[in-house]
């Protein structure tokens, strides 16, 4: 009889723990993810996929230039994950002790392209023909990785000194795209993934990979996240085959 009661108590305890675990899994969780503006469409789609399977999780994105987002985090802005369009912006947070390098990975890669409005009335078909432009949009290099990559490419092509006075700086790479779409500028430098989402611009040239720093997108969880378990789960989801298929659909490549 004592053995029967012991088994019953054990089974009841296991059931109770299971119920408590389920209850914990059902608790409402809010995740804040600071991510490069160029990731917007892919991450919005992935949010729908993830929250369909995790209805208790609410995901809020903070999109912008990676440098700006990095500075916000350094100044104490809440974030559970940081998804950067530049390695240096990400690994500075690692060096500052805000991200554990073991909880970060170089997930994606991208290409830098030259885009013009679809009517292209300046007949720009190459980087060299940017001399025909009156205004060229470029992300502010200090805060926008695409701007840094663009400046590097123009410098290595020997064009920067001639073109610098024509540059219109923007807060992020999506603003570059908008300026080109609305014909406020004659050309702009954006990621290939940005150009592919617009039917108002035309890609006329791709920067050779040896003209700029490799375009790598690291992602990782913040050490001071108050939702460590959920943040880690979403971080792992971003590395899944399901997520990679979505990223590739939007033109991203697998990181190195």
As a whole number of angstroms, the distance between CA 244 and CA 210 comes to 25
Q: Would you say 60 and 36 are in contact if contact means Cβ atoms under 8 Å apart?
A: no
Alpha-carbon torsion (114, 211, 68, 255), positive or negative: positive
Residue with tokens 């290939």: 192
Where does the chain show beta strands of DSSP type E? 29-36, 57-64, 81-83, 99-109, 112-117, 136-139, 167-170, 187-191, 201-206, 216-222, 253-254
Q: Is 66 annotated as a binding residue?
A: yes
Q: Is 191 annotated as a binding residue?
A: yes
DSSP 119-173: T-TT---SSGGGGG-S-EEEE-TTT-HHHHHHHHHHHHTT-HHHHGGGEEEESSH
Q: Would you say 155 and 141 are in contact if contact means Cβ atoms under 8 Å apart?
A: no
Q: Is 38 annotated as a binding residue?
A: yes
Of 68, 65, 75, give the one whose Cα is nearest residue 96.
75
Of 224, 219, 254, give the one whose Cα is nearest residue 234.
219
Q: How many CB atoms neighbour CB 18 within 10 A?
A: 10
* DSSP-derived secondary structure letter, 215: -
- Which residues line the annotated binding site? 38, 66, 146, 173, 191
List the binding residues for molybdate: 38, 66, 146, 173, 191
């Amino acid at each position: 009889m004592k053995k029967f009661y012991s088994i019953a108590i054990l089974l009841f305890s296991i059931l109770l723990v299971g119920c408590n675990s389920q209850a914990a899994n059902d608790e409402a969780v809010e995740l804040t993810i600071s991510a490069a503006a160029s990731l917007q469409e892919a991450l919005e789609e992935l949010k729908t996929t993830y929250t369909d399977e995790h209805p208790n999780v609410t995901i809020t994105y903070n999109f912008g230039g990676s440098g700006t987002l990095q500075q916000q985090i350094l100044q104490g802005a809440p974030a559970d994950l940081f998804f950067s369009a530049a390695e240096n912006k990400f690994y500075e947070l690692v060096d500052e002790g805000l991200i554990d390098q073991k909880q970060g990975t170089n997930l994606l890669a991208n290409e830098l392209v030259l885009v013009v409005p679809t009517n292209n009335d300046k007949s720009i078909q190459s980087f060299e023909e940017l001399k025909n432009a009156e205004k060229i949009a470029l992300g502010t290099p200090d805060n926008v990785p695409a701007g840094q990559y663009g400046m590097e490419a123009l410098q290595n092509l020997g064009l920067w000194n001639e073109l610098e006075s024509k540059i219109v700086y923007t807060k992020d790479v999506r603003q570059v795209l908008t300026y080109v779409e609305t014909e406020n500028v004659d050309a702009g430098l954006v990621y290939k993934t940005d150009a592919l989402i617009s039917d108002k611009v035309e890609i006329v040239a791709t920067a050779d990979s040896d003209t700029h720093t490799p375009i790598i997108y690291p992602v990782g969880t913040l050490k001071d996240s108050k939702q460590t378990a959920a943040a880690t789960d979403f971080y792992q989801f971003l590395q899944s085959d399901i997520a990679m298929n979505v990223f590739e659909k939007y033109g991203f490549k697998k990181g190195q």
